[in-house]
Amino acid sequence: MRLVLVGPPGAGKGTQAQFIASNLSIPKISTGDIFRANVSGGTELGKLAKEYMDRGDLVPDEVTIAMVRDRLSENDAQDGFLLDGFPRNVPQAEILKKMLEEFGAGLDIVLELVVDDEEVVRRLAGRRTCSQCGRIWHVDFDDKKDDICDACGGRLYQRDDDQEETIRHRLEVYQEQTAPLVSFYAHEGILVGVDATGPVEEVTQRAMESLSPFAD
Ligand SMILES: [Zn+2]
C-alpha cells in the first residue's frame, strides 16, 4: 500500500506513522529521516542541503524532492510505503504524482488525522518540561498539580513551542498549507479522514480499520 499521512501538529502523527507502517509491513519514510540519512551519509544532496541548513536557510524544494525520489527508488519501497512530511503542498503533490507514474504506481490512500483545534491546544499547551532531566509531563494526562518533576525533583516549565499563542499560530500555518492539499486528494478520490482524538492505540486501530478496504 502506498500511503501518505497528513495531520496537524499535536495529532500524534509521528507515532501513528510508525504504528501504521509497522502494522502494514511497509517502510515509514519521513522527510526528517531522509534529511538525516543524506546528511550523515554525506551524499551530494545531503551536502547541498547542509549548506542551506548551516546558513539557516530553508532547503529548497528541488533538493527535498530529489531526496524523496532517491528514497522511493530504494528496494524496500517498491511494494509500498508510508510518507510522512511530504508532500506539504499542492505543487509537491503534483510532483509526487508524476514521480510515482514514472515508477508505474500511484498513491492508494491519503490518511488525514483529524483533530479539533481546541483538542490540539489542550494537548500541547498542557505540556510541561523538566528543566533538569528534560522529561515531559502533562497537566491533565499526568494529573500534575505542582511544577516539580516526579522523576528527578527538577522544576517544570512550559517551552515556548508549547505556549498557546505559538500553537495557534502553527495550526493556522498548517491549515493554510494543508487545506488545499487535502482538497487536492479529496478530488483525486483517495482521501480518508480518521478521528485522531483519544488514546494512541485506539487511533491506530481506527486508522487500520479505515485502511482495510484498500489493503491488497
Ligand atoms: Zn526531571
Q: State the pLDDT at residue 216.
A: 61
Positive/negative CA dihedral, 176, 182, 186, 192: negative
Q: How remote is the C-alpha of 158 from its chain's centroid?
A: 23
Query: Cell numbers 509491513 label which residue?
Result: 25
* pTM for the model: 0.86
Q: What's the 155 CA to ligand 1 centre distance in angstroms?
A: 7
Instruction: Assign 3-state DSSP to the chain and report helix, strand, coil percentages, each to 5.
Output: 50, 15, 30
Q: What's the 197 CA to ligand 1 centre distance in angstroms?
A: 28
Q: Kindly give the parts of the chain with pLDDT less than 50.
A: none
User: Kindly report the CA angle at 150 between 148 and 154, in degrees rounded to 5?
Assistant: 45
Catalytic residues, by residue number, are: 13, 88, 127, 159, 170
Q: How remote is the C-alpha of 64 from its chain's centroid?
A: 15
pLDDT digits (tens, 9 = 90+) for 66-108: 999 999 999 999 999 999 999 989 999 999 999 999 988 899 9
Q: What's the 134 CA to ligand 1 centre distance in angstroms?
A: 6
Q: What's the 162 CA to ligand 1 centre distance in angstroms?
A: 18
Q: State the pLDDT at residue 114.
A: 95
Q: How many CB atoms lie within 10 A of CB 213?
A: 8
